[in-house]
Amino acid sequence: GEAHLKDDLMPKYAELVYNGFWFSPEREALQALVDKTQEFVTGTVRLKLYKGNAIVVGRQSPYSLYDPVIASFEDDKGLYNQADAGGFIKLQALRLRTLGVNRHKML
């Protein structure tokens, strides 16, 4: 998702800034992407500070996607079907199965 994409792009962003390309089209394009991903990031985070550590003890946002009914996987009123995971796993493994078949043919 967005978080993984940002993790991948941030080293490039940092490199551009470090090398003095603040006003470059590349840096501005990456900034536009970051700005778009942060469009709905707002809210409050409560921290507990203890012996040099910061521990998150609560968070809330008007745009939160968290729903305790869905997260429990108990009585989610049909919002999540555990059988869906099987299809997802098979889809994610398709490229690896194909690679294995192709490599087996080469032996």
The string of pLDDT tens digits covering residues 85-106 is 888 888 888 888 888 888 888 7
pTM of structure:
0.58
On whether the CB atoms of residues 100 and 107 are closer than 8 A, the answer is no
Q: Model confidence at 71, in pLDDT bands (50, 70, 90)?
A: confident
Average pLDDT of the chain to the nearest whole number = 88
Quick one: what percent of the chain has pLDDT higher than 90? 47
Q: What is the pLDDT of residue 73?
A: 64
C-alpha angle 49/51/54, rounded to 5°?
A: 35
